Structures are given as structure tokens and as C-alpha cells.
Amino acid sequence: MTITIYHNPRCSKSRQALALLESKNLDVTIIKYLEMPPSKDDLRVLSKKLGLPISQMIRTKENVYKDLRLKEASEETLYNAVPDNPILLERPIVINGNEAVIARPPEKLEEIL
């Protein structure tokens, strides 16, 4: 089974989720999304797998969220904002096949493993 994690090595929850995956000896593909941001199409796929609108995949406490005035933004505006500002994407997102979860807390991984 191959698992994909949208990972930020500077985030403690992301590091914990990755450690949990590795402790289960799973084949993990790591996407450092700050270096390789997801496209709008990638975000739409993630949204579908998560069963969440993009607005629930956004880190609302980031300065760029406030600077871009995204609080009242449309879903399409958010899809456009994230590829240029990947720090907005909630983390970590873990994908297993057609299912995904925002692993906050990391124990939420159990839902898709």
C-alpha cells in the first residue's frame, strides 16, 4: 500500500504523522508541498478525497490569509490562491487510495489506514 503525505518538515504535527506512517512500515511518498505546491487540479482531487470544500483545507491564521483578504473569498478564489501561497494549505494531508484525511491530530490517520 502506498501512502502520500503532503508534508511540511517544520510542522510538528506533520512530523508526527510521518513518523506514525513510517512506524507502520508503509511505503510513503512525501510531497514537500511548500517546495512543490499542488495545482488547482491537485487541490480539487484532494478536496474530493477529503470530502471537504477547499475552504476547510485552508490555514486561516496565516498572515497571507489575512493579507489576501480570503475570509469571504469564493471557493474558486481559494483554489487560485493556494498554488501561489502553499502555506495556506492545512497540513499534513495524507492520502490512501481514494481516501484522505487532514491528520490533525496524527491519530486521525487511523481513519484511512
2-58: per-residue pLDDT in tens? 899 999 999 999 999 999 999 999 999 999 999 999 999 999 999 999 999 999 999
Is residue 95 within 8 A of residue 43, CB to CB? The reply is no
pLDDT score, position 2: 84
Catalytic entry in 11, 20, 34, 113: 11
- Strand pairing class (27-32; 99-102): unpaired
Please state, in angstroms and rounded to a whole number, the distance separating the CA atoms of residues 43 and 86: 11
The C-alpha cell of 94 is what?
495524507
Decide yes or no: CATH 3.30.1050.10 for domain 2-111: no
Please state, in angstroms and rounded to a whole number, the distance separating the CA atoms of residues 58 and 89: 5
| Mean pLDDT score, 79-102 | 97
* φ, ψ dihedrals at 8, nearest 5°: -120, 110
pLDDT score, position 105: 93
Query: Nearest-CA neighbor of 97 among 37, 41, 48?
Result: 48
| Residue 11 annotated as catalytic | yes
H helix intervals, 1-113: 12-23, 40-50, 63-67, 75-84
pLDDT score, position 90: 96
